[in-house]
Structure 1
């Protein structure tokens, strides 16, 4: 199971995500989020993730983390410029138009993940030319759960489930939804906006433990 931990703000958060065995980290650039960081700070976190990789030839099993910039209230030009400046692997777009997403998808060397809700749709992976789909509640980052029953049809391919997940609920959610991956932010925080490293480890373990 692919696991992304979103809303990181400190180098220690990055270290916790790596040591827990997650696959991806997210930095939030949206101005209205309690987890928002500047482009410069996001660049430093991505650089830390790259610099903390074990040296070639070491016996460590650590692998590179996929780095994701999350945006929803920036113009598409600003979002693309920020992604380039930070050096992320993925740009995750919330609430952008079909035209904007298709345009972003044309940028070489940058994956595009389209975030939407079951109510907003479309819930087909690649509908706007994106590389992956993230299905969240209608208020991303709030920790609000949503009813999988509202989906007309479950997506197939590279799609991530988000919205109200926690170390205690993620395993059950995976069984119910059978996503390609899961994404969490508030569910690994004891204080809103501040990551709890123990909860990160618990979440990753629960998500990656094989289920029937």
Structure 2
């Protein structure tokens, strides 16, 4: 997979890819990078929860969004797309509704040395936020296949290893990630929080 992304003097992204699917993936990543705040606002608008941070002027829209079931309609359309064209949606793994990916980048320990249990505690906070606060059903992680320590940590925390996949190069203005062979692993909410509502 070869994807090249660069920005001109005005910061406008230019994408190059060998295949249409690769180009679509690059467009999605650039959009998530450049418009994360807008995407989050639109997610709240679709769910009918935008008044929680936009205030009372957004209540009328939220009522409409809930009555029209915009989020449910979008979810059903996505699931239909996945059934009709699984390669587009599930290029690297069996994507399920409610999946969320988490990437944790940890710097080396500071001058005081490592703090026992710190990484596990930090990841527990991320997991709880993703599965409970964001109401997602499964966390997906993708450590490098050579990072046996990280993979073992995820397994200890309840993750089930999945397939090893090749993730494409990411080349953005502020971020460059080379192509990576990753070990996918999955943590369902029912495993992380067995006493939670099994929705």
Note whether the superposition's TM-score is higher than 0.5: no
Between structures 1 and 2, the one with greater helix share: 2
Bigger radius of gyration, 1 or 2? 2
TM-score bucket (shorter structure): 0.3 to 0.5
